């Protein structure tokens, strides 16, 4: 690895990884351990012995149910209640098939420690009073050399979410739970934020064993998923065929609530502050472009 961004910062809100059937390949847990980022793996009780073969038992949280056939919704709501009972104002909830996190800088994607990525996203979210859900975009949607704003407002957030615990809305249904949750909070006049400044490198759906593939995606599962969201959100969601498969399409431009700045913060100081991040060379950099990028970064 010839490019890395790190300083062992940890997030201030609890981090949960929901996992099923992936004791030997829980990619998210593996990179969080490597990055020194505290977290818990949320599992069904019948799988504890398998997960204990690969992870310290102190990292595991057992759900009070098993094999409900409802996808990840019950586990997600349990995580929400667990974090709220612990006194947290927000919580992170991550899918279990994420390989790493990255920082976008001048069109380059640089490997970034999870603690740093999550911490800086938290700092941004806390500057505003009406962000209900925030999260990191997929790296495949921000290829190197592409142009993208630091974040997108009032859109779909998925797979790596920071959720405010005092919301009235909850995970529901069986399909497209992340899209539905975002639509719920947007319809309530709140905001969502999808970060492009920090990214997750996630394995494509249905390319790994375990997870929801067996329960939700088999047969005509994708069509059912799209249609169920369309029925729940008529006029906002419609079903189309994309990438050779049924896909829901959301009219995100229906939601235009602006961010509301907190009035108890010194916004001038925030604007002038330099991010407390540094590019560090952990191996000799081979790429001329990356050498120049580090030189420019160090020069300010």
Give me the residue label for tokens 């719920």.
184
Instruction: Please report, for the domain that includes residue 115, its CATH number.
Output: 3.90.550.40
Q: Can you spell out the DSSP letters for 238-290? A: EEEEETTEEEEEE-GGG--PPP-B-TTS-HHHHHHPPPS--EE-SS----HHH
Has residue 33 got a pLDDT over 90?
yes
Residue 92 phi, psi dihedral angles, 5° rounding: -95, 135
* DSSP secondary structure code for residue 128 in this structure: B
Q: Can you spell out the DSSP letters for 135-175? A: EEEEGGGS-TT----SEEESS---SEEEEETT-S----SSS
CA distance 61 to 45: 9
The pLDDT of residue 168 is 97
CA distance 192 to 71: 23
Structure-model confidence comparison of residues 206 and 49, the more confident one? 49
Its pTM stands at: 0.85
Has residue 7 got a pLDDT over 60?
no
Has residue 225 got a pLDDT over 50?
yes
- The domain of 109 spans 4-298
Query: 14-28, 68-82, 199-213, 264-278 — which is least confidently predicted?
Result: 199-213
Calculate ∠ Cα 111-117-120, nearest 5°. 145
Q: How many domains are contained in the chain?
A: 1
CA distance 43 to 18: 6
What does the pLDDT look like over 55-89, one tens digit per residue?
999 999 999 999 988 889 999 999 999 999 999 99
Asked if residues 23 and 47 have their Cβ atoms less than 8 Å apart, the reply is yes
Name the packing angle between helices 114-125 and 27-35 (round to 10°): 90
Structure-model confidence comparison of residues 190 and 266, the more confident one? 190
CA distance 45 to 213: 20
The pLDDT of residue 264 is 92
Pairing of strands 15-18, 40-43: parallel
């Amino acid at each position: 690895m010839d490019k890395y961004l790190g300083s062992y910062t940890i997030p201030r809100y609890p981090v949960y990884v929901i996992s099923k059937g992936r004791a030997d390949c829980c990619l998210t847990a593996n990179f969080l351990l490597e990055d020194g980022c505290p977290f818990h793996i949320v599992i069904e009780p019948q799988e504890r012995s398998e997960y204990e073969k690969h992870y310290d038992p102190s990292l595991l949280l057992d759900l009070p149910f098993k094999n409900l056939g409802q996808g990840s919704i019950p586990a997600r709501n349990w995580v929400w209640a667990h974090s709220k009972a612990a006194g947290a104002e927000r919580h992170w909830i991550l899918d279990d098939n994420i390989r790493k996190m990255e920082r976008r800088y001048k069109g380059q994607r640089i490997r970034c420690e999870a603690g740093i990525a999550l911490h800086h996203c938290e700092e941004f979210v806390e500057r505003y009073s009406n962000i209900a859900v925030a999260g990191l975009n997929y790296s495949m949607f921000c290829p190197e050399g592409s142009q993208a704003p630091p974040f997108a407002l009032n859109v779909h957030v998925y797979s790596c979410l920071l959720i405010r615990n005092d919301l009235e809305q909850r995970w529901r249904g069986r399909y497209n739970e992340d899209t539905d949750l975002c639509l719920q909070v947007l319809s309530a006049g709140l905001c969502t934020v999808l970060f492009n400044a920090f990214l997750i490198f996630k394995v494509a759906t249905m390319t790994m064993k375990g997870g929801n593939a067996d329960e939700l995606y088999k047969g005509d599962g994708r069509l059912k998923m799209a249609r169920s969201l369309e029925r729940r959100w008529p006029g906002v969601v419609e079903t189309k065929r994309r990438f050779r498969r049924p896909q829901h399409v959301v009219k995100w431009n229906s939601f235009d609530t602006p961010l509301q700045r907190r009035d108890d913060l010194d916004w001038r100081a925030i604007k002038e502050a330099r991010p407390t991040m540094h590019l560090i060379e952990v191996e000799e950099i081979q790429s001329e472009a990356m050498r120049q990028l580090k030189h420019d970064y160090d020069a300010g």
